[in-house]
Amino acid sequence: MYQKIKIKLALMLPLMIGISKAQTFIPIPDTLSGSIIDLMIADSSKQFYNGYNTNTIGYNGNYLGPTIILNKGQNVTLNVNNKLRNTTTTHWHGLHVAPMNDGSPHNPITSGTKWSPSFTVMDYAATYWYHPHLHGKTMEQVLLGAAGLIIVRDSNEKALTLPRTYGVDDFPLVLQWKTFDAATKQILINDELDNTTMVNGIMNGQLNVPAQMVRFRLLNGSSHRFFYLAMNDSRNFKVIAGDESLLNAPVTVNKLLISPGERYEIIIDFSGQTGNNYYLRHIGTKLPAGYPGGPPDAMGMGTPGPLDNTDFNLLQFNVIAPTASPVTAIPSSLIANVITPSAGAGTKTFNLQGSPMMSMTNFTINGVQFDKNVINFTTKQDSVMIWSITNQSMMPHPWHIHGNYFYITSIDGSTPPAYMQGRKDVVTVSPQGGTVQLVMKYEDFNDPNIPYMYHCHILSHEDNGMMGQFIVNPVSTGINDVNANLFSVIYPNPTYNGWTIDGTSKENLLLISLTNSIGHVVLQQTILPVAGKFNFNVPANELTAGMYMLSLISKSQNQTVKLIKQ
Ligand code: C2O
Ligand code: CU
Ligand code: CU
C-alpha cells in the first residue's frame, strides 16, 4: 500500500510543477524591412531558467533574430556585422541568390568584419530563414541561438484574403529541440539527447490569438529532431504554404510532420472560441519509426533522448476577442504552381549511406564526405536536372539544396502529399531504402568559382560531412554549334568587378556594347579575335548596381545576354 502511494506521488509531482509554473508569453521577433537591413551577430546570454545565465548567440539581440520582411522585386543590401569571437557566415536559406551572396561556407565573415551582399529578391511569397553555415560550426552557432525568419511578400499573395498582420493574426513560430545541461543550464553542443523544446526561445510558453482565422509560419529550427504537430483537440487545420511558395489550394490535415530546416504556413480557425485555451502539441509517439524524436524502428534503432517517443504540449493558445476586421474564411484556391518542365533534363543519383552501415552519426553522399576543395559535380545555367536520392542508411535525412527551389516529383515512388506540392527546398528521404525524386532548374546565376551546397539539414550530419557542392557554369550565349560564327561564355553573373567573355569567332572584328536598364550605352568597344579566339574583360566597378544587356555583334551574328552588376 505504502509503495503504491509513493509511486503515485512521484508521478504527480512533475505534473503539479508543470501546472503551477507561470507560463511566459512567447516573444514575437521585431521586423526589419526596406532596402538596407542591418544585422549584428554577437555572443550574448539569456535566462532560460530563473537565476541561470545561459551563453547564447543572437542576431540584434540575445537569442534568435529579427524577422526580415522583403518584397519580391525589391533590391536589398544585408549588412551582417560579425561581433562574435569566431568566424561565421549568414546563409539566406531558400532565397534564390548568386553563390557569392548565398552565405554558404564559401562566404566567411571573420570576427570584427562586415559582409554586405546585395541582390534583387526573386522569390515567391513564403517563409524563409537565415542561419550561420560555417562548415563544422553550423550546429554550434545555430544551437546557441543564431537563426531568424525571412518573410517574402508578393502581389499574388497580397491579392488573396489571408491573415497577414504580423503579430496580430499572422505569427512566426520557431520550433526547436535543445539540450540544456542539468547543473549550469548551458546549451550543450550536442543533439543526441535533446531534453527541451522551445517556441521562439520560450519553453512551455503561451500566446494570445484572436477568435478568427490565424496564420502561423512554422520553422523547425532544430539541429536534429522532427516535430509532429497536432492540436490538443485533434482539430483540422489548413496548410497554405510549404518552404518556398503558397500551395495551389489549402490542404486540410490534423497533424503535420516538419523536419529540421523545413517551413510550413498553416491556418487555424479559432472563430467563436473566445475565452478558451488550446495547445499545439508534439505527438512524438506518432512519428514514423526511426525518425529522430520518435519511436525506435523494428531493429530497435532510434534516438536516445529523454523526450523521444512521447507526446507533450509545445505552446498554449489563449483565444481572445477577434480583431476589428477578422479574416473569417480563406480562398479555396491560392496560386498556380507550375512544376519545372523536365523534358531534356539530365538525371543525377545520390545514395545516402551510414558509415559504417549501422552508424547513426556518420553519413556519406555517394560514398564521400564533404571536402571544401572538391566540386562534386558541375552543371550549366538554364539546365534542368532530376535529382534521384536513395537513402540506404538507418535514419531519415532532410535533404536541402541551395540556389533555387525544386518540385518533388515522387516520394517512395508515389506522388508527394498535397502539402508538399509547392516550391520546396527541404525534403525528407525516409530510412532503409526511401527514395525521392525532384526537379530543379539552375536559373539566373552562374559562378565558375563559387559552388552551391546540398546537404542533410540535421546539423550534426552536415557538420560531419553529409554535404556536397556543385558549380553552375555560365550558359553559352552563342549557338553551341561548331559551324556557328560566334560562340561565347560570359561569367560570373552577377558580378561586382566585371565580366569575362571567352569565345571563338570566324569573323576578325567584333563589337561589344553594354547598355543599362534604361537603354543607354555605357560601354562600346571592338574586339579583334586572334586565331579565331578572344578573351575580354568588361570592367564593372564603376557601374551602378542593376541589370545590363551585353551585346556581342559580328558581321554575321548578334548575341545579347542579360547581366547583373551587384
Ligand atoms: Cu539551411 Cu545549407 O542550409
Ligand atoms: Cu539553405
Ligand atoms: Cu542526415
State yes or no: pLDDT of 4 exceeds 60: no
Instruction: Convert the pLDDT of each residue in 446-501 to its tens digit.
Output: 999 999 999 999 999 999 999 999 999 987 655 555 456 777 888 898 998 899 98
pLDDT of residue 509 exceeding 60, the answer is yes
Greater confidence, 17 or 167?
Answer: 167
Instruction: Evaluate if residue 401 carries a pLDDT over 90.
Output: yes
Is residue 215 in a domain? yes
Residues 282 and 383 in one domain: no
Regarding beta strands 346-354 and 363-365, do their DSSP bridges make them parallel or antiparallel, or are they unpaired?
A: antiparallel
Q: Do 44 and 109 belong to one domain?
A: yes
Residue 247 CA, ligand 3 centroid: distance in Å: 27
The last residue of a domain, from among 158, 173, 192: 158
Full domain range(s) for residue 182: 160-332
List Cβ neighbours of 159 (8 Å cut-off, separation of 6 or more): none
Considering its fold, how many domains does the chain have in total?
4
* pLDDT at residue 502 in the model: 87
Determine, yes or no, domain membership for 25: no
Taking CA atoms, 4 is separated from 1, 7, 9, 13, in Å, by: 5, 5, 9, 15
Residues 444, 423: Cα–Cα separation, whole Å: 17
Residue 43 burial (C-beta neighbours within 10 Å; 0-12, 13-18, 19+) = middle
The answer to whether residue 341 sits within a structural domain is no
Q: End of a domain among 298, 332, 366?
A: 332
Q: Of 288, 564, 562, 126, whose CA–CA distance to 296 is shortest?
A: 288
403 alpha carbon, closest ligand: 2
Residues 467 and 405 occupy one common structural domain: yes
pLDDT band per the 50, 70, 90 thresholds, residue 22:
low
Q: Distance from the CA of 92 to the center of ligand 2, in angstroms?
A: 6
192 and 88 belong to one structural domain = no
| 416 and 356 inside one domain | yes
**How far is the centre of ligand 1, averaged over its atoms, from the C-alpha of 400 (Å)?**
7
Q: Which residues surround ligand 3, an ion (CB under 5 A)?
A: 397, 456, 458, 461
- Distance between CA atoms of residues 66 and 148, nearest Å: 6
CA gap 549, 122 in Å, rounded? 19
Query: What is the domain-level CATH number for residue 507?
Result: 2.60.40.2550
Instruction: Please give the average per-residue pLDDT across 12-28, as a whole number.
Output: 64
Residue type, 294: G
Q: Are residues 354 and 288 in the same domain?
A: no
Q: What is the pLDDT of residues 334-351, one digit of tens each?
A: 999 999 999 989 999 999
Residue range 228-235: average pLDDT? Answer: 98
In a domain, 481, yes or no: no
Share of the chain above pLDDT 90, in %: 77
Cα(224) to centroid(ligand 1), Å: 13
Task: Quote the pLDDT of residue 439.
Answer: 98
CB 14 within 8 A of CB 20: no
Q: Are 377 and 385 in contact (CB under 8 A)?
A: no
pLDDT at 16: 42
Which residue's CA is minimally distant from atom 1 of ligand 1?
A: 93
Say which amino acid occupies 320. Answer: I
Q: What is the pLDDT of residues 24-34, one digit of tens each?
A: 999 999 999 99
5 lies in a domain? no
Taking Cα atoms as reference points, which of 428, 429, 438, 383 lies closest to residue 405? 438
Pocket residues for ligand 1 (CB within 6 Å)?
91, 93, 131, 133, 261, 400, 402, 453, 455, 457
CA of 309 to the centre of ligand 1 (A): 27
Q: How confident is the model at residue 291 (pLDDT cuts 50, 70, 90)?
A: very high
Tell me, what's the pLDDT at 154? 98
Distances (CA, A) of 401 to 93, 261, 371, 392: 9, 11, 17, 19
- pLDDT 10s digits, 99-118: 999 999 999 999 999 999 99
The residue whose C-alpha atom lies closest to atom 3 belonging to ligand 1 is 93
pLDDT at 519: 85
The atom of ligand 1 lying closest to the CA of 261 is 1
Both 150 and 172 in one domain: the answer is: no
Residue 249 lies in a domain: yes
**Pair 219, 138: CB distance under 8 Å:** no
What is the spatial distance between Cα 141 and Cα 133, in angstroms, rounded to a whole number?
A: 8
> According to the model, what pLDDT value does residue 478 have?
53
The type of residue at 410 is S
Residue 14 lies in a domain: no
Domain end residue (candidates: 417, 449, 473): 473
Q: Report CA(412)–ligand 1 centroid distance (Å).
A: 24
Q: Looking at the structure, do residues 148 and 166 belong to the same domain, yes or no? A: no
* 107 neighbors 89 (Cβ within 8 angstroms): yes
- What pLDDT shows up at residue 477? 59
Q: In whole angstroms, give the CA distance from residue 440 to residue 150.
A: 22
The full DSSP string for 213-241 is: EEEEEEEE--SS--EEEEETT---EEEEE
Same domain for 140 and 59, yes or no, is yes
Asked if 212 and 309 sit in the same domain, the reply is yes
Amino acid identity, position 169: D
**DSSP symbol at 202:** B
Is the pLDDT score of 550 beyond 60?
Answer: yes
pLDDT digits (tens, 9 = 90+) for 63-93: 999 999 999 999 999 999 999 999 999 999 9
For residues 260-265, give the mean pLDDT.
98
Q: Residue 517: name the closest of 448, 563, 453, 449 by CA.
A: 563
Type and span of the H or E element at 379: strand 377-380
Q: What is the pLDDT of residue 552?
A: 85
**Nearest Cα to 144, choosing from 41, 56, 48?**
56
Report the DSSP beta bridge partners of residue 115.
Answer: 80
Does 309 share its domain with 351? no
**Mean pLDDT score of the chain:** 92
Q: What would the pLDDT profile of 119-164 be if each residue is shown by its tens digit? A: 999 999 999 999 999 999 999 999 999 999 999 999 999 999 999 9
> Strand 277-283 to strand 227-231: parallel, antiparallel, or no bridges (unpaired)?
antiparallel
pLDDT value at 9 more than 70? no
**Ligand 1 atom nearest residue 467's Cα:** 2
Evaluate whether 166 touches 31 at the Cβ level (below 8 Å).
yes
13 near 193, Cβ under 8 Å?
no
Which among 138, 163, 139 is positioned nearest to 151, based on CA atoms? 163
Q: What is the pLDDT of residue 299?
A: 86
Q: Name the grid cell of 305.
A: 533522448
CATH number at residue 54: 2.60.40.420
Q: Which residue reads 564521400 in cell numbers?
A: 368
Polymer length of the chain? 566
Which pLDDT belongs to residue 484? Answer: 66
15 inside domain:
no
* Rounded distance between C-alpha atoms, residue 265 and residue 208, angstroms: 18
Do 167 and 315 reside in the same domain of the chain?
A: yes
- What is the percent of the chain with per-residue pLDDT over 70, rounded to a whole number? 95
Ligand nearest to C-alpha 244: 2
8 Å CB contact between 46 and 201? yes
